[in-house]
């Protein structure tokens, strides 16, 4: 390999990241659906001509390892039958995808007739057909019920769209204008990536660019190995649990063992429960992506996101398990399992790097609500949202309230925008006092959201968990609050749910969602009384809870003190 100039390497590294970010901004500016342009459920990436991942946009960490499998599936299908102007797409979770709503678009990049790389974009579509609006039903029992399944196929041939493919998609989804609009947004992003890669190759030459591309991956591998080497060698195990699959699975175990050996790491899910009947199975690429994202979050943030990071970290999953199912197992709601994979991996990481890992909080949305039907004129509507919760308390700070999880960059859609676009009303959206797991550093509070349905009739489907197994605390911190779901009918009757469900709703019905809160970190009796006082003043903790959970008494004369310290603090504050 030619001599590598470190300054040029730094320029190319940052330029690749900038191109991927430009692609992401293109999607944000041109997408149609709220799940993409507001919730930000999409990612962008660049690959070299050798199909190795070289950059990701500032999007979802959970997609870190998902798109390489998609590109490999495209190459396996089409081999050398790839030409300038071609664009490929897929969503089949058993052939490069993760679940049917996630369509991945791949654009090969050519310069002077030579293949120099690939530009790719993954985005969650608002609907991909199937038996339930939003295509995310937890109670599907095989993938054939979940929607339109696309193997790796050609969307464009030599710059000309394959109209038959677009017509098939149009005829199989409930919101064709929105879905096709989002696909075109992905294609626009891929073209931005193509332009950026072409400019880099033009500037440094094809051979020069390839040399620096390989040097960048090697640099990332070295940096990753150096981070692993800082961790103590050994085996570190942790288990977390899913309440159930909505059928008869019982409690589902996610078992993980992290092994550190010098500069290498293995994450082994042996002991995890078998695949289940319900649609919460997670294919290998998605499971691995969640695990890689967790490890990435505790390493130096300046390490680039590319394939060099993957090299020293091996992911092992049992076949036909919930983290590596076999077809035709349903996978539409696999995000719940990925979230619990993250909880288990972080639980093991807390033993390796206790100064970096917070207590458990929703790392991705446990609760996803989909609501769909038809207006009186026959026009369809689909509302789909993953509700964002709060973080667990950390080694040096309280958990953030109502903030996107560690492995996603989601955002809740503003209530005002939803009410304009959908036949629903957000009647309450806020935090639940006293709900954060007690600790020296308190867990973030539970989020509550009340959704009133205004359509005459619709189908409501909710993916949910943490009703039995609350988010864990660390270092003596207490668990967070359990989830809660209640459907109040227009006539005043109500029903509580403790797992995934699907029901018909009518005008005036209201869904009340209480998300789980974050767990606490450290002994609650070590919490600074001044912090308890602040929480009481802000309405996050009640006077009663302050005394019960933290041993802090608050009265008219003393702002907030532990009983044993009352006199000393009273004197000092005078």
In this predicted model, what pLDDT tens digit does every residue of 211-238 receive, in sequence order? Answer: 999 999 999 999 999 999 999 999 999 9
What per-residue confidence (pLDDT) applies to 566?
47
pLDDT band at 65 (very low <50, low <70, confident <90, very high): confident
Is 110's pLDDT higher than 50? Answer: yes
The per-residue DSSP string of 453-488 comes to E-SSEEEEEEE---SSSPPPPBTTPPP-PPPEEEEE
The per-residue DSSP string of 518-554 comes to PPPBS-GGGS-HHHHHHHHHTTSS-HHHHHHHH-EE-
Strand partners, 511: 451, 487
Strand partners, 2: none
Q: Are 455 and 373 in contact (CB under 8 A)?
A: yes
**Residue for token digits 């989909």?**
370
Is 75's pLDDT higher than 60? Answer: yes
Q: Are 170 and 122 in contact (CB under 8 A)?
A: no
CA-based torsion, 181, 182, 188, 190: positive or negative: negative
Give the helix/strand (H/E) hosting 156.
strand 153-157
Residue 261 burial by Cβ neighbours in a 10 Å radius (0-12, 13-18, 19+) = exposed
pLDDT band at 66 (very low <50, low <70, confident <90, very high): confident
What separation, in Å, do the N-terminal and C-terminal C-alpha atoms of the chain show? 73
What per-residue confidence (pLDDT) applies to 412?
78
What tokens appear for 440 in the block? 């020296």
Q: Are 31 and 37 in contact (CB under 8 A)?
A: yes
Q: Which residues contact 51 (CB under 8 A, 6 or more apart)?
A: 68, 71, 72, 75, 118
**Residue for token digits 């999007």?**
59
Spatial distance between the Cα atoms of 103 and 92, rounded to a whole number of angstroms = 9
The phi-psi region of residue 138 (left if phi > 0; otherwise alpha if psi is between -120 and 50; otherwise beta) is alpha
List the Cα angle 321/406/450 in 5-degree steps: 90
What tokens appear for 359 in the block? 């207590």
Q: Are 457 and 537 in contact (CB under 8 A)?
A: no
What per-residue confidence (pLDDT) applies to 572?
39
What percent of the chain is predicted at pLDDT more than 70? 97
Q: Are 147 and 93 in contact (CB under 8 A)?
A: no
Query: Stretch 176-191: mean pLDDT, rounded?
Result: 98
Spatial distance between the Cα atoms of 353 and 296, rounded to a whole number of angstroms = 13
Window from 115-119, 459-463, 536-540, 555-559 with minimum mean pLDDT: 555-559
What per-residue confidence (pLDDT) applies to 157?
97
CA of residue 474 relative to chain centroid, distance: 22
Is 10's pLDDT higher than 90? Answer: yes
SS3 83: coil
Is 437's pLDDT higher than 70? Answer: yes
Window from 106-115, 310-319, 355-364, 433-442 with minimum mean pLDDT: 355-364
Distances (CA, A) of 195 to 20, 198, 270: 11, 5, 44
Distances (CA, A) of 52 to 23, 206, 210, 472: 18, 16, 11, 37
What per-residue confidence (pLDDT) applies to 38?
87
Q: Which of 53, 58, 48 is nearest to 69 (CA)?
A: 53
Say which DSSP state 335 is in: H
Query: Stretch 195-220: mean pLDDT, rounded?
Result: 96
Tell me the pLDDT tens digit for each residue of 237-284: 999 999 999 898 899 999 999 999 999 999 999 999 999 999 999 999
pLDDT band at 557 (very low <50, low <70, confident <90, very high): very low
pTM metric for this prediction: 0.94
Distances (CA, A) of 421 to 29, 457, 539, 550: 18, 17, 33, 44
Tell me the pLDDT tens digit for each residue of 81-92: 999 999 999 999
Is 52's pLDDT higher than 90? Answer: yes
What tokens appear for 506 in the block? 């009518």
Tell me the pLDDT tens digit for each residue of 279-334: 999 999 999 999 999 999 999 999 999 999 999 999 999 999 999 999 999 999 99
What per-residue confidence (pLDDT) applies to 573?
32
Is 558's pLDDT higher than 70? Answer: no
Distances (CA, A) of 85 to 25, 168, 185, 194, 264: 22, 21, 17, 11, 40
**Cα-only R_g, the chain:** 25
The per-residue DSSP string of 352-399 comes to H-TTT-PPP--SS-S-EEEEEEE-TTS-EEEEEEEPP--PPP-SSSPP
Q: Are 122 and 63 in contact (CB under 8 A)?
A: yes
Is 560's pLDDT higher than 80? Answer: no
List the Cα angle 395/294/384 in 5-degree steps: 105
Spatial distance between the Cα atoms of 356 and 393, rounded to a whole number of angstroms = 11
pLDDT band at 63 (very low <50, low <70, confident <90, very high): confident
What per-residue confidence (pLDDT) applies to 1?
56
Is 347's pLDDT higher than 80? Answer: yes
Report the C-alpha dihedral over residues 369, 423, 145, 276, rounded to 10 degrees: 10
Q: What are phi and psi of 248, to 5 degrees?
A: -125, 25
Is 570's pLDDT higher than 70? Answer: no
What per-residue confidence (pLDDT) applies to 568?
45
Is 56's pLDDT higher than 70? Answer: yes
User: Mean pLDDT, the chain, as a whole number?
Assistant: 93
């Amino acid at each position: 390999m030619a001599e590598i100039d470190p300054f040029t390497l730094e320029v190319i590294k940052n330029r690749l990241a900038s191109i991927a970010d430009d692609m992401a901004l293109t999607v944000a500016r041109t997408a149609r659906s709220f799940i993409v342009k507001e919730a930000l459920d999409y990612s962008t990436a660049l690959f070299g001509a050798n199909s190795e991942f070289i950059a990701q946009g500032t999007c979802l960490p959970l997609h870190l390892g998902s798109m390489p499998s998609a590109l490999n599936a495209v190459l396996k299908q089409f081999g050398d039958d790839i030409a300038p102007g071609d664009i490929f797409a897929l969503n089949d979770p058993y052939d490069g995808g993760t679940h049917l709503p996630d369509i991945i678009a791949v654009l090969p990049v050519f310069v002077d007739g030579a293949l120099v790389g690939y530009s790719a974009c993954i985005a969650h579509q608002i609907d991909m057909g199937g038996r339930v609006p939003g295509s995310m039903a937890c109670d599907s029992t095989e993938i054939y019920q979940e929607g339109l399944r696309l193997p790796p196929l050609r969307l464009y041939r030599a710059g000309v769209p394959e109209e038959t493919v677009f017509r098939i998609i149009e005829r199989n989804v409930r919101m064709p204008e929105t879905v096709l609009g989002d696909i075109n947004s992905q294609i626009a992003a891929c073209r931005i990536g193509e332009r950026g890669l072409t400019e880099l190759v033009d500037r440094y030459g094809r051979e020069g660019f390839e040399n620096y591309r390989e040097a960048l991956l090697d640099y990332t591998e070295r940096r990753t190995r150096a981070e692993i080497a800082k961790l103590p060698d050994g085996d570190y195990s942790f288990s977390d649990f899913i309440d159930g699959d909505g059928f008869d699975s019982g409690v589902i175990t996610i078992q993980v063992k992290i092994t550190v050996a010098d500069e290498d790491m293995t994450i082994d899910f042996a002991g995890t429960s078998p695949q289940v009947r319900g649609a919460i199975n997670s294919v290998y690429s998605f499971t691995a992506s969640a695990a890689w994202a967790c490890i990435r979050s505790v390493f130096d943030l300046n390490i680039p996101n590319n394939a060099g990071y993957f090299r020293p970290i091996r992911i092992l999953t049992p076949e036909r398990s919930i983290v590596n199912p076999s077809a035709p197992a349903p996978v539409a709601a696999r995000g719940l399992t990925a979230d619990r994979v993250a909880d288990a991996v972080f639980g093991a990481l807390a033993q390796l790097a206790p100064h970096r890992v917070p207590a458990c909080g929703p790392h991705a949305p446990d609760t996803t609500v989909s609501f769909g039907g038809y207006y009186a004129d026959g026009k369809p509507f689909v509302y789909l949202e993953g509700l964002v919760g709060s973080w667990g308390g950390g080694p040096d700070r309280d958990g953030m309230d109502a903030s996107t999880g560690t492995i996603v960059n989601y955002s809740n859609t503003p209530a005002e925008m939803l009410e304009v676009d959908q036949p629903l009303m957000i009647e309450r959206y806020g935090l639940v006092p006293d709900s954060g797991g007690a600790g020296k550093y308190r867990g973030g509070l539970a989020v509550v959201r009340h959704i009133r349905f205004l359509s005459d009739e619709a189908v409501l489907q909710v993916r949910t968990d943490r009703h039995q197994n609350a988010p864990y605390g660390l270092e003596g911190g207490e668990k967070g609050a359990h989830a809660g779901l209640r459907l109040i009918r227009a006539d005043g009757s109500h029903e509580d749910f403790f797992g995934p469900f699907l029901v018909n709703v009518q005008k005036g019905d209201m869904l009340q969602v209480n998300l789980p809160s974050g767990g606490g970190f450290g002994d609650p009796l070590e919490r600074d009384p001044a912090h308890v006082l602040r929480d009481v003043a802000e309405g996050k903790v009640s006077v009663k809870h302050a005394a019960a959970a933290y041993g802090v008494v608050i009265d008219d004369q003393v702002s907030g003190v532990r009983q044993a310290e009352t006199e000393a603090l009273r004197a000092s504050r005078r």
